[in-house]
């Protein structure tokens, strides 16, 4: 989003070249007499996106860049300012696009940038590494394109997806209840399993109650946007998941951001701004899904208490993995259960299912159960998903060696990475490890070379991360053996070195 002052400076656009009417036509349809308006717009947008001043391109392309930036930012597209600006550098005149215009989105800046990037990858003789189907369960070895691969791309952290007891529970639930909840829970979609799973989650986390939703993403978007409103503020850090950012934006509350892990910056931000909002919610993640840092909960709680704001922790990647028995960052910190105001997590990772949950005090859960739009206007969690998550939590409770083994593997992975001269991001015991390669193309090429050598490691590129932090991301699981890790990392180091040399 553009900062408010820039929005105000762009207000003349409303009365722009269309003499008072807003001109929604594509750039190509606009005329020469609009040039001074473009120049004025350009100055304001260039101020916001200085990257466009560095491009060595024609004026026509500059104008395209301006509108690209404005479309992305003003018309409310999802990319952040930083990524939108980066995207613009990839734009080319339509005449150079590889395919004829044929879609209703051909005029969208984001779509043009996407087509260009896909064409670039294919032009390099590579396959687009996304949406590639695999066969079978996501374990440490998978099959893709008839090849057997050691895989680091799935977050089946404790190997519970595919566990016979979890599979049997899901099948039994289908036999008993069918494949769909067939209604929103508030009307006729409620089944006993929903309440049982919520009770189980609350007991596991030590909270008064819990509530499950049909998607983790939806949980953040819907809960954050329902909990906060205009005089309030949502505060998150630079590593925040898109679902948190979207929830904050939809809430209408003020948004404040700070660099991930910079607690002094957060403290200062709140000291300076606390008086400007009513309720505040800090949203942090137990394990950051891109860089793999584990939350310093003690610092977060200290600051939230000092400034009298609430704390929500997204435990998508920490539930089941962090803490002696997998109860997450609260258990690892030794703090009391009420240190976190809103526990949030997904059922799609360690719980081997799909869906999301929040947990907390009874009032919070009742408020959301009856009034949260993402719950009451959406179907109930499917019987199979509900039963699978319950069975997975049962196993987790009975078998604490699973999270222990995952943490040992994570430590081992980082040791072997260091031995091979690789620097990976993330805390020693974190199940997420990122090898930054710093360039989208290099990340995709490296992933492809590793695929050819028998490894499945996903590249993470724009807009999920900024171009300069393009990376290979490893999800480490309790199922990875030391042998697999020992086999993988020397080859990753070799292939990276080869690619870097050939780029020189």
For binding to ligand PMP (CB under 6 A), which residues are involved? Answer: 215-217, 220, 241, 243, 285, 289, 314, 316, 346, 348, 356
Q: Three-state secondary structure along 412-445?
A: HHHHHHHHCCCCEECCCCCCEEEEECCCHHHHHH
Nearer to ligand PMP, 301 or 316 (CB): 316
For residue 228, the SS3 value is: coil
The CA-based angle 425-427-430, given to 5 degrees, is 100
Please say if 304 is a catalytic residue: no
Please say if 317 is a catalytic residue: yes
The CA-based angle 126-131-132, given to 5 degrees, is 65
- Distance of closest approach, residue 318 Cβ to ligand PMP, in angstroms: 9
Nearer to ligand PMP, 41 or 293 (CB): 293
CA-based torsion, 186, 190, 193, 196: positive or negative: positive
- Residue 358 pairs in a beta bridge with 211, 344
**Residue environment code for 186-213, b if the CB has 16+ CB neighbours within 10 A, otherwise e:** eeebebebbeebbebbbebbebbbbbbb
Nearer to ligand PMP, 70 or 166 (CB): 166
Say how far apart CA 296 and CA 8 lie, in whole Å: 39
Nearer to ligand PMP, 117 or 317 (CB): 317
- Residue 473 pairs in a beta bridge with 434
Q: Which of 194, 254, 304, 317 is catalytic?
A: 317
- Distance of closest approach, residue 284 Cβ to ligand PMP, in angstroms: 10
- Distance of closest approach, residue 429 Cβ to ligand PMP, in angstroms: 18
Nearer to ligand PMP, 138 or 215 (CB): 215
Return the C-alpha torsion angle 423, 428, 429, 433, nearest 10: -20
Please state the φ and ψ torsions of residue 318, each to the nearest 5 degrees. -110, -25
For residue 11, the SS3 value is: helix
The H or E element that residue 199 is part of is helix 192-205
**Residue environment code for 142-174, b if the CB has 16+ CB neighbours within 10 A, otherwise e:** bebeeeebbbbbbbbbbbbbebeebbebbeebe
Say how far apart CA 189 and CA 183 lie, in whole Å: 4
Please say if 415 is a catalytic residue: no
Nearer to ligand PMP, 44 or 387 (CB): 387
Say how far apart CA 167 and CA 149 lie, in whole Å: 23
Nearer to ligand PMP, 110 or 286 (CB): 286
- Residue 237 pairs in a beta bridge with 258
- Distance of closest approach, residue 186 Cβ to ligand PMP, in angstroms: 21
Q: Which of 151, 222, 289, 339 is catalytic?
A: 289
Contact 432, 294 (CB under 8 A): no
- Distance of closest approach, residue 112 Cβ to ligand PMP, in angstroms: 27
For residue 475, the number of C-alpha atoms closer than 13 Å in the C-beta half-sphere is 26
Nearer to ligand PMP, 357 or 413 (CB): 357
Nearer to ligand PMP, 88 or 293 (CB): 293
Query: Which residue number is nearest to ligand PMP in terms of Cβ?
Result: 216
**Which residues have C-beta within 8 Å of that of residue 357, sequence separation ≥ 6?**
198, 201, 210, 211, 212, 213, 219, 343, 344, 345, 346, 347
- Distance of closest approach, residue 236 Cβ to ligand PMP, in angstroms: 11
- Distance of closest approach, residue 215 Cβ to ligand PMP, in angstroms: 4
The H or E element that residue 268 is part of is helix 263-273
Tell me the CA distances in angstroms from 332 to 44, 108, 191, 455, one per residue in order: 48, 46, 34, 32
Q: Which of 226, 349, 441, 480 is catalytic?
A: 349
Say how far apart CA 258 and CA 236 lie, in whole Å: 7
- Distance of closest approach, residue 254 Cβ to ligand PMP, in angstroms: 22
- Distance of closest approach, residue 316 Cβ to ligand PMP, in angstroms: 4
Closest by CA position to 323, among listed 232, 436, 402, 435: 402
Would you please indicate which residues are annotated as catalytic (active-site) residues? 289, 317, 349
């Amino acid at each position: 989003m553009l900062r408010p002052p820039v929005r105000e400076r762009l207000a003349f656009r409303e009365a722009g070249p269309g003499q008072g009417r807003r001109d929604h036509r594509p750039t190509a349809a606009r005329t020469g007499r609009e040039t001074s308006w473009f120049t004025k717009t350009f100055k304001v947008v260039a101020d916001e996106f200085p990257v466009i001043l560095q491009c060595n391109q024609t004026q026509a392309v500059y104008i395209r860049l301006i509108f690209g930036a404005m479309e992305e930012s003003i018309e409310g597209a999802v990319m952040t300012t930083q990524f939108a600006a980066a995207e613009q550098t990839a734009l080319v005149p339509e005449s150079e696009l590889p395919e004829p215009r044929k879609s209703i989105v051909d005029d969208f800046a984001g779509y043009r940038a996407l087509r260009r990037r896909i064409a670039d990858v294919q032009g390099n003789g590579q396959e687009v590494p996304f949406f590639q189907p695999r066969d079978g369960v996501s374990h440490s070895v998978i099959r893709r394109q008839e090849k057997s691969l050691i895989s680091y791309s799935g977050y089946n952290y404790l190997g519970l997806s595919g566990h016979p007891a979890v599979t049997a529970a899901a099948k039994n639930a289908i036999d008993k209840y069918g494949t769909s909840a067939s209604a929103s829970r508030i009307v006729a979609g409620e089944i006993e399993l929903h309440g049982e799973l919520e009770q189980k989650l609350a007991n596991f986390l030590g909270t008064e109650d819990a509530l499950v939703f049909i998607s983790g993403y939806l949980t953040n978007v819907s809960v954050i946007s329902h909990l906060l409103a205009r005089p309030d503020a949502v505060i998150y850090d630079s590593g925040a998941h898109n679902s948190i950012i979207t929830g904050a934006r939809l809430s209408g509350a003020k948004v404040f951001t700070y660099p991930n892990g910079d607690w002094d910056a957060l403290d200062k931000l709140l000291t300076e701004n606390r008086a400007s909002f009513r309720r505040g919610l800090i949203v942090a993640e137990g394990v950051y899904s891109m860089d793999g840092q584990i939350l310093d909960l003690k610092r977060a709680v200290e600051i939230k208490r000092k400034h009298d704001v609430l704390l929500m922790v997204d435990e998508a990647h920490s539930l089941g993995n962090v803490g002696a028995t997998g109860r997450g960052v609260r258990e690892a910190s030794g703090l009391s259960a009420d240190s976190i105001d809103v526990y949030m997590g997904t059922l799609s990772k360690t719980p081997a299912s799909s869906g999301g949950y929040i947990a907390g005090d009874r009032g919070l859960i009742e408020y959301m159960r009856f009034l949260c739009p993402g719950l009451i206007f959406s179907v109930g969690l499917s019987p199979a998903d509900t039963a699978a998550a319950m069975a997975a939590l049962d196993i987790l409770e009975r078998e604490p060696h699973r999270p222990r083994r995952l943490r040992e593997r994570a430590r081992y992975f980082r040791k072997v990475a260091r031995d091979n001269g690789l620097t990976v991001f993330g805390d020693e015991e974190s199940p997420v490890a990122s090898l930054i390669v710093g360039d989208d193309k290099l990340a995709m090429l490296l992933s492809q070379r590793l695929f050819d050598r028998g490894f499945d490691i996903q590249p993470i590129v724009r807009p999920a991360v900024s171009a300069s932090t393009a990376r290979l991301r490893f999800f480490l699981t309790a199922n990875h053996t030391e042998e697999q890790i020992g086999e993988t990392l020397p080859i990753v180091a070799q292939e990276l070195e080869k690619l870097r040399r050939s780029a020189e």
